[in-house]
């Protein structure tokens, strides 16, 4: 690393090596050269005077890029594509005359972007599946563990820890679906010419429309796409970028919510993210165990969520067949979106693989709140024993308020159970009171819902990634 120059933290700190390489200059300009080679091969097949020797020279130099020369050429011509046309021609001079034949700049820039985005989607989809897989294991393990539920961040009826995890998984399944759809519906720009009319290629092939259509189809297949967009301007529609960013930024929203939930639960000491033996939580407070991984994920996810507005605005201001004010924005936005998403996924997979649960703390918090929640069950049991419902309700109301006063005004523990046990009125249920307060009576069908959800929705969704699920996430920093 050149420490004298700025480098984005996304590539040096947060994203994986494979994602950084995918968006590297080496990969981008190698893709440009492949596209010029594809075009020449297809043109040769359709009868243009292009020799095997020219094609071989192009193929041999796809990855041999003289970046210093390319920079000099760009400084001279003020045009990145023409700079690389000249740089490519310099290392395969026999092919110099047929490189970029009939093409516009967007033939290489747009098509290469689509290849790189497709590859980026192929990188993050298995990582998302691994996150879902780890949470599925967590949900299965803790499907029966009662926990205090929260609505409005206030204590509510009980659920289970596994059921809570299924709510996280549900959102991630939506992201898996959206990203998969985006990946499967992504098409190639193809060979369309300056304003998308294919006029230059029609001239090359003496007005033979079928050959121009076949040229488009051949290059599309060489690039590994099943189809190309039938109509484009000079660029493919920037609504495609918006579609991509909607799916990727949606993943950011899901992960931000999950990481926030883990942070809230860590505050309650119900669970914690992994914390290494020698990890320091605070430079000033030795006892701290800060949820730094989830905080990092929230920070990155928040950045990811903002990027979709760039794609919205760029799509909105593409005048007529195109304007160039999309270029600099897209270089940043598309790259950062996938590098950021990759960083979030790596971080959260690591969290999901090492979540630590504290059942005794969870149960202690349940005990503090459950007596209030159990009052309806107590009333029903008393009525069955012959008591008057309204009278019983009033007795419990008074005792509940007294217990609440102890908790809120005196800082004591919830003593409602002790008050009921000390009341002669409630003698008919004293012997069964502990049974009425069993947390498992208050979790409804949560365990059954976990099993059903995992079997019906989760396992089928990640089955196609089963050979890629084993890889663990190791965070260096």
Dist CA 193 CA 183 (whole Å) = 25
Q: What angle do CA 282, 285, 287 make, to 5 degrees?
A: 95
Name residue 154's beta-bridge partners. Answer: 151
Query: Is 152 an active-site residue?
Result: yes
Do 121 and 185 contact (CB within 8 A), yes or no? no
Positive or negative, the CA dihedral 306, 310, 315, 317 is: positive
Dist CA 394 CA 270 (whole Å) = 34
Dist CA 342 CA 337 (whole Å) = 9
Dist CA 433 CA 442 (whole Å) = 14
With residue 154 as reference, give the H or E element that holds it.
strand 154-160
Dist CA 339 CA 20 (whole Å) = 7
**Would you list the DSSP string of 182-240?**
HHHH--B--S--SSSS-HHHHHHTTT-HHHHHHHHHHHHHHTT-S-B-S--SSS--THH
Candidates 3, 152, 278, 283; catalytic one:
152
413: which 2 tokens?
């523990």
Which own/partner contact pairs does 375-384 have at CB distance under 8 Å and 24+ positions apart? Answer: 375/400, 377/436, 377/441, 378/420, 378/426, 378/429, 378/433, 378/436, 381/428, 381/429, 381/432, 381/436, 382/426, 382/428, 382/429
- Reported as half-sphere exposure (CB side, CA atoms, 13 A), residue 249 has a value of 21
Candidates 64, 79, 209, 282; catalytic one:
282
Which own/partner contact pairs does 394-399 have at CB distance under 8 Å and 24+ positions apart? Answer: 395/423, 395/425, 395/426, 396/420, 399/423
Q: What is the dihedral of CA 328, 221, 215, 315, to 10 degrees?
A: -30
Catalytic residue positions?
A: 152, 282
């Amino acid at each position: 690393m050149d420490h004298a120059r700025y480098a984005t933290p996304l590539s040096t700190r947060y994203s994986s090596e494979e994602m950084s390489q995918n968006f590297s200059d080496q990969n981008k300009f190698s893709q440009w050269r492949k596209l010029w080679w594809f075009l020449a091969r297809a043109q040769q097949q359709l009868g243009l005077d292009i020799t095997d020797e020219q094609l071989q020279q192009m193929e041999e130099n796809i990855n041999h890029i003289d970046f210093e020369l390319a920079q000099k050429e760009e400084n001279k011509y003020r045009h990145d594509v023409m700079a690389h046309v000249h740089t490519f021609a310099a290392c395969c001079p026999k092919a110099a005359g047929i490189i970029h034949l009939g093409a516009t700049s967007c033939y290489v820039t747009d098509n290469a972007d689509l290849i790189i985005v497709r590859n980026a989607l192929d990188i993050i989809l298995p990582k998302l599946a691994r996150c879902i897989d780890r949470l599925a294991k967590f949900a299965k393990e803790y499907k029966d563990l009662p926990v205090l539920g929260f609505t409005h961040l206030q204590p509510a009826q009980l659920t289970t820890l596994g059921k809570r995890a299924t709510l996280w998984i549900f959102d991630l399944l939506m992201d898996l679906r959206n990203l998969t759809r985006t990946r499967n519906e992504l098409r190639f720009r193809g060979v369309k010419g300056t304003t998308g009319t294919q006029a230059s290629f029609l001239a090359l092939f003496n007005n033979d429309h079928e050959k121009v259509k076949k040229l488009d189809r051949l290059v599309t297949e060489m690039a590994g796409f099943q189809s190309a967009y039938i109509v484009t301007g000079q660029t493919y529609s920037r609504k495609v970028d918006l579609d991509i960013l909607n799916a990727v930024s949606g993943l950011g929203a899901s992960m931000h919510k999950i990481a926030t939930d883990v942070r809230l639960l860590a505050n309650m000491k119900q669970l914690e993210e992994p914390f290494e033996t020698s990890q320091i939580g605070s430079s000033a407070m030795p006892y701290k165990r800060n949820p730094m991984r989830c905080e990092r994920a929230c920070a990155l996810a928040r950045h990811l969520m903002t990027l979709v507005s760039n794609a919205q605005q760029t799509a909105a201001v593409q005048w007529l067949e195109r304007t160039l004010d999309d270029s600099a924005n897209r270089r940043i936005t598309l790259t950062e979106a996938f590098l950021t998403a990759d960083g979030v996924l790596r971080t959260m997979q690591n969290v999901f693989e090492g979540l630590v649960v504290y059942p005794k703390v969870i149960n202690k918090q349940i005990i503090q709140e459950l007596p209030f929640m159990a009052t309806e069950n107590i009333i029903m049991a008393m009525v069955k024993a012959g008591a008057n419902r309204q009278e019983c309700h009033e007795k419990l109301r008074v005792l509940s308020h007294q217990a609440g006063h102890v908790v809120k005004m005196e800082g004591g523990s919830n003593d409602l159970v002790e008050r009921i046990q000390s009341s002669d009125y409630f003698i008919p249920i004293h012997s069964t009171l502990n049974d009425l307060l069993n947390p498992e009576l208050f979790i409804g069908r949560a365990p059954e819902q976990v099993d059903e959800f995992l079997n019906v929705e989760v396992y089928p969704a990640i089955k196609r990634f089963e050979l890629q699920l084993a890889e663990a996430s190791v965070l260096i920093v």
